Structure 1
């Protein structure tokens, strides 16, 4: 029987990793076998854990590429009930095929990540993962400007690079609603 793919997306500070940690706890309490992965680029809070912005954490295997994730998974093939992947948007597009292989091997996969960059553009990897998912959970955050619970965009406060891949926390990013994003950027004029 094939596994199930659950994807949790939304802006920064929407509780994506917190929800992933809750799911990990359920598997741990059920004495299930699982692995937790994180991209090696994400060292904001810890190199050996996935960590929520509130400080909750779980041990994780850091990987530099989707191929490294595949290799680590293969070493545990036939022994796992699930894998959990944090910050899916940092992975290369090959992760989509690897996740499909894992699901068809009978293992459940849970991924979290940003669905859009600070430029209000979808992350291609995340969109492709959402397309093959059994379940997509889209989360919101409290807007750091107006205070309403309708933030769907991560806004970068610091213009230190043009790259859409730029790891950071509160020192660089806030969550904003569409209206506040438009006021901050002026990108969608005429509204």
Structure 2
């Protein structure tokens, strides 16, 4: 029987990783074997952990290329969990499809759009093939409402792929984004 694909997406500070790790805990309570992965490029909280902004963390395997995930998978694995999918190469899509048809549940968390409002290709393709999509919102840093769907970069430069946290990005709603863009 095939596994399922669940994608958790939304802006920064919306609780994507928290949600991902809650699913890890559910599988672990059920005594199912799991593996957690992260892109090697993301070392904000350490080399071999996935962590929420509030400090809840689990051990993870860091990988440079998505195909490296295969070396950690065997027939006893029930589910894999991949954080920050927007930083992975496009080969992640085929890997996810392959693992699901081997009966492994795959949970992915990541940003859907960049601060420039460009869709992240890997996340977009995962959303298209997902069995379940969880779209998270954050509290807007400007108006304080729980409707932020954008990550807004508050420092200049650094490029579209620029790893960071509160020192570089805030969560913002569509209305406040429009106001910022129009100088209001």
TM-score band w.r.t. shorter chain: over 0.9
Q: Following the alignment from structure 1 to structure 2, what is the Cα–Cα distance between the partners of residues 65 and 4? A: 22
TM-score, length of structure 2 as denominator length: 0.97
* Deviation, structure 1 residue 185: 2.3
Q: Following the alignment from structure 1 to structure 2, what is the Cα–Cα distance between the partners of residues 123 and 178? A: 18
Match 1:154 to one of 145, 151, 154: 151
Alignment match, 1:8: 8
Alignment match, 2:40: 40
Alignment match, 1:68: 68
* Deviation, structure 1 residue 67: 1.6
Q: Secondary structure at the match of 1:50?
A: strand
Match 2:99 to one of 102, 106, 122: 102
In the alignment, structure 1 segments of 5+ residues that lack a partner are none
CA RMSD across the alignment:
1.1
Q: Following the alignment from structure 1 to structure 2, what is the Cα–Cα distance between the partners of residues 97 and 119? A: 27
Match 1:113 to one of 110, 115, 118: 110
Alignment match, 1:165: 161
Q: Secondary structure at the match of 1:158?
A: coil
Alignment match, 1:52: 52
Q: Following the alignment from structure 2 to structure 1, what is the Cα–Cα distance between the partners of residues 103 and 143? A: 44
Q: Secondary structure at the match of 1:175?
A: strand
In the alignment, structure 2 segments of 5+ residues that lack a partner are none
Q: Following the alignment from structure 2 to structure 1, what is the Cα–Cα distance between the partners of residues 182 and 90? A: 31
- Stretches of 4+ aligned residues off by more than 3 angstroms: none
* Deviation, structure 1 residue 89: 0.4
Q: Following the alignment from structure 1 to structure 2, what is the Cα–Cα distance between the partners of residues 185 and 69? A: 40
TM-score, length of structure 1 as denominator length: 0.93
* Deviation, structure 1 residue 11: 0.1
Q: Following the alignment from structure 2 to structure 1, what is the Cα–Cα distance between the partners of residues 163 and 125? A: 21
